[in-house]
Amino acid sequence: MGGRSRSASIYNTLSERIKTWEYSPGLRLTEEEICSEFSVSRSPVREALNSLVSSRLVVKEEHKGYMVRLIDLREVNELYDTRLVLELEVVRLLCEKGVDTTTLEELRQRWQAIGSKLPEVMDLSASEDELFHNRLAVAADNLVLTQMLADISQRIHFVRLSDITDPDRLERTCKDHLLLLTALEKQDLKASQEIMRQNILWGKEKVDSAIKEALFYAHHMA
């Protein structure tokens, strides 16, 4: 495995640990420990850590090294506000040009299947929700918009892990997604944007409790 591939592999592993709170906020990350775990030299480790800094998952402090970023409640709320603006633009673009029937049908079948398998699929709820919104962004065919939403999605992933936490919540999410697909199919901008707005704001309401739950989990897993 080449140096760049090793760096990417290390980055993916560490970022997943951070996003799922296996690594809690404030945890120190040392090059020595990471080198030892992955049996690599400092070069790919340093590259991976700097990529985590660029992704705003880790901060680098002078004379102290690398640390998992602390949670900024205001920042998380502002990320949701920004996400709402971007998601509404995705909906506008989709209603303006239409969504291909293949994408609509694939998403519809997927969420109908999820709704029929409750509560067995609860563990997949966060990743499935992210995938749904990503597919819509990709369908809007604006690469900058899609990347901005992907970056935000990564930074609020921990909220989503504590957001859809019971069958009733997932059932409502299924219904919202199916209603949104129907509105998009009709190119009904008003209805589509209202459904999307309620979906995002509902998630934002969980920010405070999600952070508390994640911190509690991280503390007891430490």
- Residue 143 and residue 43: Cα distance in Å, rounded? 31
- Distance from C-alpha of 94 to C-alpha of 108, rounded to nearest angstrom: 16
- Least confident piece of the model among 24-38, 42-56, 63-77: 63-77
State whether 58 and 78 are in the same domain. Answer: no
Question: Both 98 and 199 in a single domain?
Answer: yes
Cα separation, 28 vs 49, in Å, equals 12
- In a shared domain, residues 101 and 202: yes
What is the average pLDDT score of the chain? Answer: 87
- The pLDDT value given to residue 163: 63
Predicted confidence at residue 171, as pLDDT, reads 84
Distance CA 160, CA 172 (A): 15
At residue 10, the pLDDT reads 95
105 lies in the same domain as 197: yes
Residues 136 and 201 in one domain: yes
Q: Are residues 171 and 109 in the same domain?
A: yes
Cβ atoms of 215 and 27 closer than 8 Å:
no
Q: Domain boundary residue among 39, 68, 97?
A: 68
What is the arithmetic mean of pLDDT over 4-13?
90
Render pLDDT for 116-165 as a digit per residue (tens, 0 to 9): 887 776 667 778 889 999 999 999 999 999 999 998 988 887 777 666 66
**Which range, 23-32, 74-83, 138-147, is most confident?**
138-147
CATH code: domain of residue 51: 1.10.10.10
Q: What angle do CA 24, 29, 31 make, to 5 degrees?
A: 160
- Structural contact between residues 47 and 7, judged by C-beta atoms closer than 8 angstroms: yes
**DSSP-assigned letter for residue 60:** E
Residues 99 and 119 in one domain: yes
147 to 134, 143, 144: CA distances (angstroms): 9, 6, 5
The 10s digit of each residue's pLDDT in 41-62 is 999 999 999 999 998 889 998 8
Same domain, 103 and 211: yes
Provide the pLDDT for residue 222: 52
Helices (H), 20-69: 31-38, 42-54
Task: Examine the domain organization and report whether 64 and 78 are in the same domain.
Answer: no
Lowest mean pLDDT among 72-86, 117-131, 133-147, 208-222: 208-222
Cα–Cα distance measured from residue 157 to residue 21, given in angstroms and rounded to the nearest whole number: 10
* Residue that finishes a domain, picked among 22, 41, 68: 68
Residue 93 — pLDDT band, cuts 50, 70, 90? very high
State the total domains in the chain.
Answer: 2
Same domain, 59 and 140: no
Do residues 100 and 198 both lie within one domain? yes
Q: How far apart are CA 196 and CA 210, in angstroms?
A: 21
Sheet strands (E) in 65-111: 65-68
Domain boundary, last residue among 38, 68, 98: 68
Do residue 213 and residue 124 come from a single domain?
yes
State the residue range of the domain holding 50.
3-68
Beta strands in the chain (DSSP E): 28-29, 58-61, 65-68
Choice between 151 and 106, residue whose per-residue pLDDT is larger: 106
